[in-house]
Structure 1
Amino acid sequence: MIDWIRTYTGKRFNVFEPTPEVIDIRDIAHALSNTCRFGGHLTEFFSVAEHCTNTASLLDKELAIYGLLHDAGEAYLTDIPTPIKHRLPNIIALERGILSCIAERFGLVEEKFYCRELKKVDWYLCVREAKKLLPQGVEGWEGCSEFGLENIGDFKMVFTNAFAPTVAEHLFLQLFQELTHEKV
């Protein structure tokens, strides 16, 4: 049995023993742009890449790169809906290990992926996306987060455009380049 997956750029990525040198932003952008939020149970396709781009746009300049990459581990493990993920501690550990490698690869501070401000923006967008794209909205979500469903902050309006994967990928890479000044 093999312990790796083949990435979009052709690399072998070992999800159990990831290394920073195998991390490629093109793999992350491509996979996240082709991954649908909420396990695909939406009225229209909405990618994890677009969610991450929106997250970055609501954070200050210092945290924006963390917002862009906060779900980057899902490029290698896929997006597992939160209620399921919280019952799979091994998946959470694998994702944290991958995020640690991503932080090292791009010279980031791993702990900032878990800061309160980013978590609040992530939840805010999750609620907005659910209200717009889930057939039943946020029905039954009361008490799911310390941030609540309505009064979670004064964030600027972010549109949930439901871009095609190729557009979401391009915007993700463009923002990455703007934030890091790394050539993509």
Structure 2
Amino acid sequence: MTPTIQTYTGRLFSLARPCAADVHIDDVLIPLTRLCRFTGHTLESSWTVAQHTLLCDDLRAPDTDPQTRLAILLHDAAEAYIGDISRPLKALLGPAVRNVEAQVAAAIFKAFDADEVFLDEGEIKRVDDLALVTEKAMLLADSPEWPGLPRDTTRSCIALSRVSKLPCVFTELANRLVETMKAAECSPLPTLGL
């Protein structure tokens, strides 16, 4: 059996040979609105990868260039095809899972016409870590600090509160993605259905 999954839209997507032509916007956004962060261990309700993505976007620097903003919006998009794998499990599984994730991410970035943009990886890591520590503080049971993460989450807690009250996470994420693609002068491919 080949490592292929069937997506929301009925397409077959190869995890061994991910291809941009097999990426569809609904196959990315809909699963991200359904996938729970922290393997579902939040205290009250589920917190999805899509909500995390919107929080990261809200935490970016106001002068972030459109290409980096697009990368922030897509930084966890591969999880639509491979699931949300926690950082500790990724570390345990080693390079094989990171390689699959990187190949899937590359296909998604290419599909969104973002494969050759300059990425400010420092800004992406900064907002991802800030979102992670904020989510930990507001959504998980009290526990010791996680090493290597930022400590001041005042501004980001306000942003998390805003994101948690959005009426339709899918629509908000889709709108931000399209707006950013236009600002980055990306040409959406027909397979994205834009």
Give the CA deviation at 1:152: 8.2
Distance 2:123 2:2 in 1: 38
Partner of residue 7, structure 1: 7
Structure 1 residues 39 and 127: CA distance shift in structure 2, 3 A:
same
Partner of residue 181, structure 2: 180
1:8-157 matched pairs, under 5 angstroms: 8-43=8-43, 44-59=45-60, 60-62=64-66, 63-88=68-93, 89-109=95-115, 115-136=121-142, 138-141=143-146, 143=147, 145=148, 148-151=149-152, 157=158
Structure 1 residues 139 and 111: CA distance shift in structure 2, 3 A:
farther
Structure 1 residues 169 and 133: CA distance shift in structure 2, 3 A:
same
- Over residues 11-36 of structure 1, what are the superposed CA-to-partner deviations in whole Å (9 max), with x where a residue is unaligned? 10001110010111211100110000
TM-score normalised to structure 2 length: 0.81
Are 2:134 and 2:157, in contact at CA under 8 Å, matched by a contact in 1? no
Percent identity over the alignment is 27
SS in 2 for 1:87: helix
Partner of residue 162, structure 1: 164
Structure 1 residues 110 and 55: CA distance shift in structure 2, 3 A:
farther
- Over residues 46-97 of structure 1, what are the superposed CA-to-partner deviations in whole Å (9 max), with x where a residue is unaligned? 1100111221233324211111100001000000111111122211110000
Structure 1 residues 48 and 135: CA distance shift in structure 2, 3 A:
same
Where does structure 2 lack aligned partners over 5 or more consecutive residues? 183-187
Distance 2:22 2:154 in 1: 37
Structure 1 residues 114 and 15: CA distance shift in structure 2, 3 A:
farther
Amino acid across the alignment from 1:180: M
- Over residues 102-130 of structure 1, what are the superposed CA-to-partner deviations in whole Å (9 max), with x where a residue is unaligned? 12112214685671111011000100011
Distance 1:109 1:61 in 2: 15
Q: State the superposition RMSD in angstroms.
A: 2.6
TM-score normalised to structure 1 length: 0.85
**Whose helix proportion is higher, 1 or 2?**
2
- Over residues 121-146 of structure 1, what are the superposed CA-to-partner deviations in whole Å (9 max), with x where a residue is unaligned? 1000100011000012x5241x2x2x
Distance 1:93 1:153 in 2: 35
Where does structure 1 lack aligned partners over 5 or more consecutive residues? none
Report how many aligned residue pairs link the two structures. Answer: 178
Distance 1:163 1:156 in 2: 13
Structure 1 residues 94 and 132: CA distance shift in structure 2, 3 A:
same
Give the CA deviation at 1:154: 7.5
